[in-house]
A and B are shown apart, each in its own frame.
Chain A
Amino acid sequence: MSNIVKKFPGVIANDGVNFEARVGEVHALLGENGAGKSTLSNVLTGLYRPDEGHIELLGNAVSFSSPRDALNCGIGMVHQHFRLVSSFTVAENVILGEDTTDVFTETTKVASRVEQLAQQYGMPVNPRASIWQLSVGEQQRVEILKVLYRGAQILILDEPTAVLTPQEADILFKTLRSMVAEGRTVIFISHKLDEVMAVSDRVTVLRNGKTVGTVDTASTSARELARMMVGRDIVFERVTRTRGGASSQSVLQVDSVNAQDDRGNQALHNVSLTVAKGEIVGVAGVSGNGQRELAEVLCGMRASTSGTFSVDGSSVDAGSVRRTLAAGIAHVPEDRLHTGLAAGHSVQDNLILKSYRRKPMSRFSVLQRKIINSNATELVDRYDVKTPDNATPVRLLSGGNVQKVLLAREFSTNPKILIAASPTRGLDVGAIESVRTRLAHVADDGVGVLLISEDLEEIFSLADRILVMYEGRITGDIPIADATRESIGLLMGGSAVSEVR
């Protein structure tokens, strides 16, 4: 029996996507970041309106103008970022915003109903506990309960295991299967191949806003899914390098680094890697697998819990930005306008964001405006930054020029190591090309580059060697000559190296 038929051709994020889920199945929606999974689910839950196409529920056409409508039709979504008030209890969160005329909260009644639901699906949770007391896995259960409490028949889970430990993930899968056994439908959005293989009945793969295909899980393999996910038909243009790849001298050595993320979960597990002088090491992987934490540890913004790293042989103290700066580590962060740059400040001020403490930018603590200005003029010229003048706030520049300012500044610190995170995300074609060329140049000049990117095309066009990060570990270390898109894709999805070979 068909449950939903949904088509919306012509929307940019979802380009003529057809999707169909059946009653009583777990249907996985697979794709890389930017493939269109979130957009599709947002349409289904009423957050977005499709430009074209329609939705049918059990054969009846429906249309939603708000999330409430979708909820009333029995479609509920569990988001990646929980919508919970942390000081409230579980029961209070479950009934928050409920469409009802009840005046009183009647916590006892609610608590017992919540408990009943929780037991029914094997998700024990104390309805009177406060959210902040719960583990992330338990908080997710509350989100699921919220949706079940309102009678949802179709549950959409957006990357649910992104925040869970493997044990918690197993419990979640059991819960999903029990829900489905009762006739509900679960749509499971993920990029993790192993999980998709483990829990789903069918898989729909999206790529670049289009449906690639829908297969029965039982009759496919991780390899085939990876191929569908990343595609086979791209020919990579390698950026020309004057010096072919690495020298033998290592400039960055990372040894068994462990670190925690903001929530206190383990983000990096014994990460070790080396980067040689003049080598571009690509770090592939879907975002959220520890890349940000790795970059932050290496540039001093985050302390590691154990492990060391050293530049040119001398060990660097973790957790201090000034010391990593002094050691010669430069960092082009993912979040350009909120981390890498002070958005409201001028081009020239941002260009001295790391050098303002010393001469010649300041003398006796007084900023030397003339020198700062001429520094800016020179860098703007050299890096071809299009800006009305040096005093323009950087938030007014286009994405490509913002990135040029960042690169200009980082390059001008004469670093030994450059950590570049998603350097061409969101840029237009011309900017992408120029950024990549500069990265190649700087590597040719002897700088070791750690290129962290989700974009496989980018990695393949620049890297000499590819590392893959999955759940905080390096799961692969492959020289460019041996790497294929498919093998990297598999590793990104969590397969072990042995499966790949």
Chain B
Amino acid sequence: MPRTKLHLERRLTQPRSLNWIVPLVSIVAALVLGSLVLVLTGKNPFSVYWRILDSGFASKQAIRGTLIAATPLAFTGLCAAATFRIGLVNIGGEGQLFMGAVGASFAGLALKGQPGWFIILGMMACGMICGAMFAAIVGVLKAKFNTNEIITSLMLNYVAGIILNYLIFNSTSYWRDPQSFGFPAGKPISSGSYWPTYEIVGIEIPFGFLVAIVAGLFMWFLYRSTRFGFEVGVIADSPGAAKYAGMRTRTKVVAVMAISGALAGLGGASDVGNFRHLLDAKGLQLAGYGYTGIVVAALARFSPLGAVFVAIIIGGLTNAGYALQGPDFQSGLVGTLKGLILFTAVAGEVLTRYRIRVRRADKAGAQA
């Protein structure tokens, strides 16, 4: 007896418009779901959302704060987007960012006395190298032993956090401020090596964010127009074809992980250079940049340039969360919304791959 059933059918083509429709629909859906939660707990969603928008985007000061919050997110978003292209998910962005911060603050402290721009370049370089090496561990383990990159990067996140704690709280390391007895803190870098903030068309943009834009453009170019990007794309699309064409898969995996780690490391460097000006073990671990970066990347459908743009949106949300913190604004709301956005982004992704069809299925299964 035939019966109808809902069936997910693979789409043949992906209309270009999906690239921005899906993220938009995701945000809207997340907001709708979020308002459900708010209503169920007796709050007014409209006023809550209005206040978020206000604190996130409505004034110069708000935008300044938003871009500050967005900078590390742009980097971790790029980090996640970079590996997605080869079919891996790098959830080690968190740890790689930490290591980048360690490396950058080291450079910032060690290069004291040199001209400002030199120190900044040094911080960027050290941040990238540390992040890249940390990520390469995951890549090498995957390439050589085929170990699950999800678990290894997760474990390394923890190890990186412990390293941070060690450097700042549990030892008298180079990074620790000798003057901070009661409350251990990182040693600040010299004011000459602070990363600048530029005012462009009336908006204050941190140097770090500009670097993120450049990085985004670079990643876009890399994946779209170079041999490297071409090979990565083919490997992800069809490992059989990649093998057939003589591409070296395993080195690519390590390379992509390293690039991804370098991006996260830059994020850590920008945090030290542009904002905290020291290695803030506690603050970095509480911020959750790495994991939020995955939300950013997912919403941007893992496109590099999209990630930078979406980082602004999520940065605004985060900034609003900080600004509004208080008795009449629930602290968990920001995380809840972020989680909902990730849900809807991920569920929305399904609709780009599949179409919902109603189909009559013969009970015996396929026919000869």
The reply to whether A and B meet directly (CB within 8 Å) is yes
- Chain A residues near B246: list those with CB within 8 A: 300, 320-322, 325, 354
CB-contact partner of A301 in B225, B244, B362, under 8 A = B244
Interface centre among B234, B240, B244 (most CB of A within 10 A): B244
* B12 interface contact, C-beta 8 A: yes
Question: Nearest Cβ in chain A — how far from B212, in angstroms?
Answer: 23
* B13 interface contact, C-beta 8 A: yes
* A357 interface contact, C-beta 8 A: yes
* A369 interface contact, C-beta 8 A: yes
Q: Is the CB of B364 within 8 A of A367?
A: no
- Chain B residues near A349: list those with CB within 8 A: 230, 234
Question: Nearest Cβ in chain A — how far from B84, in angstroms?
Answer: 15
Report B325-368 CB contacts with A as 1/0, cut-off 8 Å.
00000000000000000000000000000000000001111111
Who on chain A is nearest to B241 by CB?
Answer: A342
* A480 interface contact, C-beta 8 A: no
- Chain B residues near A345: list those with CB within 8 A: 233-234, 237-238
Q: Is the CB of A342 within 8 A of B367?
A: no
Q: Is the CB of A321 within 8 A of B245?
A: yes
- Chain B residues near A362: list those with CB within 8 A: 226-227
* A227 interface contact, C-beta 8 A: no
Q: Is the CB of A338 within 8 A of B240?
A: yes
Q: Is the CB of B230 within 8 A of A65?
A: no
Give the complex CA separation of A366 and B228 in angstroms. Answer: 9
* B243 interface contact, C-beta 8 A: yes
Give the complex CA separation of A68 and B27 in angstroms. Answer: 47
* A13 interface contact, C-beta 8 A: yes
- Chain A residues near B233: list those with CB within 8 A: 342, 345
Interface centre among B241, B242, B366 (most CB of A within 10 A): B241
Name B201-250 residues within 8 Å CB distance of A.
Answer: 225-228, 230, 233-234, 237-238, 240-246
- Chain A residues near B241: list those with CB within 8 A: 338-343, 353
- Chain B residues near A59: list those with CB within 8 A: none
Q: Is the CB of B230 within 8 A of A367?
A: yes
Question: Nearest Cβ in chain A — how far from B230, in angstroms?
Answer: 6
Question: Nearest Cβ in chain B — how far from A463, in angstroms?
Answer: 25
CB-contact partner of A49 in B226, B234, B244, B364, under 8 A = B364
Report A239-272 CB contacts with B as 1/0, cut-off 8 Å.
0000000000000000000000000000000000
Q: Is the CB of A42 within 8 A of B368?
A: yes
- Chain A residues near B363: list those with CB within 8 A: 65
Q: Is the CB of B362 within 8 A of A321?
A: no
Q: Is the CB of A14 within 8 A of B368?
A: yes
Q: Is the CB of B368 within 8 A of A12?
A: yes
Give the complex CA separation of A14 and B226 in angstroms. Answer: 51
- Chain A residues near B228: list those with CB within 8 A: 365
- Chain A residues near B362: list those with CB within 8 A: 49
- Chain B residues near A322: list those with CB within 8 A: 246
* A43 interface contact, C-beta 8 A: yes
* A39 interface contact, C-beta 8 A: yes
Name A's interface SS.
loop
- Chain B contact residues (Cβ within 8 angstroms of A): what range? 20 to 34
CB contact under 8 A between A66 and B240, given known A321-B245, A345-B233, A356-B227? no
* A11 interface contact, C-beta 8 A: yes
Q: Is the CB of B227 within 8 A of A365?
A: yes
Give the complex CA separation of A345 and B224 in angstroms. Answer: 12
Q: Is the CB of A301 within 8 A of B243?
A: yes
Give the complex CA separation of A301 and B241 in angstroms. Answer: 11
CB contact under 8 A between A48 and B238, given known A321-B245, A356-B230, A365-B227? no
Who on chain A is nearest to B243 by CB?
Answer: A301
* A384 interface contact, C-beta 8 A: no
Q: Is the CB of A354 within 8 A of B245?
A: yes
Q: Is the CB of A344 within 8 A of B238?
A: yes
* A433 interface contact, C-beta 8 A: no
Give the complex CA separation of A48 and B365 in angstroms. Answer: 7
Question: Nearest Cβ in chain A — how far from B85, in angstroms?
Answer: 13
Who on chain A is nearest to B363 by CB?
Answer: A65
* A396 interface contact, C-beta 8 A: yes
* A47 interface contact, C-beta 8 A: yes
Question: Nearest Cβ in chain A — how far from B59, in angstroms?
Answer: 43
Q: Is the CB of A367 within 8 A of B227?
A: yes
Give the complex CA separation of A43 and B367 in angstroms. Answer: 10
CB contact under 8 A between A48 and B366, given known A345-B234, A396-B12, A396-B13? yes
Point out residues on A near B: beta carbons under 8 Å.
11-14, 39, 42-43, 47-51, 65-66, 299-301, 320-322, 325, 331, 333, 335, 338-345, 349, 353-354, 356-357, 362, 365-367, 369, 393, 395-396
Beyond the given pairs A11-B368, A343-B241, 16 more chain A to chain B contacts, judged by CB atoms under 8 angstroms and listed by A's residue number, are: A48-B364, A48-B367, A49-B365, A301-B244, A320-B246, A322-B246, A341-B238, A343-B237, A344-B237, A345-B234, A345-B238, A349-B230, A353-B234, A362-B226, A367-B227, A369-B225
Closest 9 CB pairs of A and B: A321-B246, A49-B364, A342-B241, A342-B238, A48-B368, A344-B237, A322-B246, A339-B240, A342-B237
Please name 8 pairs of A and B residues whose Cβ atoms are closer than 8 Å in the assembled complex, sorted by A: A12-B368, A48-B365, A49-B365, A49-B367, A66-B365, A342-B237, A356-B230, A366-B227
